[in-house]
Amino acid sequence: MVNKEFKNCSVDLNDHFVAEVDDGKTVRFWVNRWVNGGRLSMRFPDLYRLSQSKQATVEECYSVRDGVARWELKWKRGLSSDQERAREQRLQSVLIHLSRRDKKDTWSWLSDKKKTDFPVKIVRQELEKSSANTCQNNIFNWNRIAVPKINHFVWRATESRIPTATALARRNVNVGNERCPLCGIAEEDAHHLLVACSFARSVWWSVLVWVKLPIPRAFESVNQVLQHVQNYGSDGLRKRVVQSIALLTLWIIWTCRNEKIFKPF
180 near Zn ion, judged by CB under 5 A: yes
Interacting span for Zn ion (CB under 5 A) from 101-109, 173-181, 207-215, 245-253: 173-181
Of 64 and 185, nearer to Zn ion (C-beta) is: 185
Alpha-carbon gap, residue 223 to 226, rounded angstroms: 5
190 near Zn ion, judged by CB under 5 A: no
Q: Is the dihedral of CA 76, 77, 79, 84 positive or negative?
A: negative
Of 146 and 200, nearer to Zn ion (C-beta) is: 200
253 near Zn ion, judged by CB under 5 A: no
Binding mask 78-117 for Zn ion (x = CB under 5 A): ----------------------------------------
Least Cβ distance, residue 202 to Zn ion (angstroms): 11
28 DSSP β-pair partners? 57
* CA 40 to centroid of chain Cα atoms: 23
Q: Which of 56, 169, 183, 211 binds Zn ion (CB under 5 A)?
A: 183
Single out the residue of 74, 55, 69 nearest to residue 99, CA to CA.
Answer: 69
Q: Is the dihedral of CA 189, 194, 198, 199 positive or negative?
A: positive
Q: Which of 73, 197, 226, 245 binds Zn ion (CB under 5 A)?
A: 197
182 near Zn ion, judged by CB under 5 A: yes
207 near Zn ion, judged by CB under 5 A: no
39 DSSP β-pair partners? 33
Alpha-carbon gap, residue 191 to 250, rounded angstroms: 10
Least Cβ distance, residue 265 to Zn ion (angstroms): 20
Interacting span for Zn ion (CB under 5 A) from 34-42, 88-96, 141-149, 175-183: 175-183
Neighbours of 132 (CB within 10 A): 11
Residue 219 near residue 196 (C-beta atoms within 8 A): yes
Q: Which residues bind Zn ion (CB under 5 A)?
A: 180, 182-183, 197
